[in-house]
């Protein structure tokens, strides 16, 4: 028997209720804590909340950032949730960051 998925990405567009949904999912206690951790304009603010170093408006250690985001977005049962909003999906991807 396959183990169920332990992570998900909520993809949305503006004005579709994703903020409401992201606010409700953590209240379940088992569906992670989805936020827009990987929205590039907010990464420095998230890094500061995670206690990570930044330099020149960028996260200094992106691997540490991803690990911190995974920790922040994971509920006690191990389910991770994150949100990515269109049309910024390409700009929000960690692909452009060196790990």
| pTM as predicted | 0.82
Give the residue, 44 or 98, on which the prediction is more confident. Answer: 44
pLDDT tens-place string over residues 46-61: 999 999 999 999 999 9
The mean pLDDT of 7-17, rounded to a whole number, is 91
| Number of Cβ within a 10 Å radius of residue 84 | 20
Q: What is the mean pLDDT of the chain?
A: 88
- The domain locations on the chain are 7-88
Q: For residue 31, what pLDDT is reported?
A: 95
Q: What confidence category does residue 96 fall into, taking pLDDT thresholds of 50, 70 and 90?
A: low
Residue 10 CB contacts under 8 Å (≥ 6 apart), including other chains: 18, 21, 22, 25, 34, 81, 82, 83, 84
High-pLDDT (> 70) share of the chain, %: 87
């Amino acid at each position: 028997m396959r183990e169920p998925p332990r992570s998900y990405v909520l993809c949305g567009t503006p004005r579709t209720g994703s903020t409401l949904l992201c606010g409700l999912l953590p209240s379940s206690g088992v569906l992670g804590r989805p936020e827009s951790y990987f929205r590039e304009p907010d990464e420095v603010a998230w890094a500061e909340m995670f206690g990570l170093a930044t330099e020149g408006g960028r996260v200094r250690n992106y691997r540490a950032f991803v690990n911190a985001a995974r920790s922040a977005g994971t509920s006690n049962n191990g389910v991770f949730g994150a949100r990515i909003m269109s049309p910024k999906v390409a700009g929000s991807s960690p692909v452009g960051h060196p790990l």
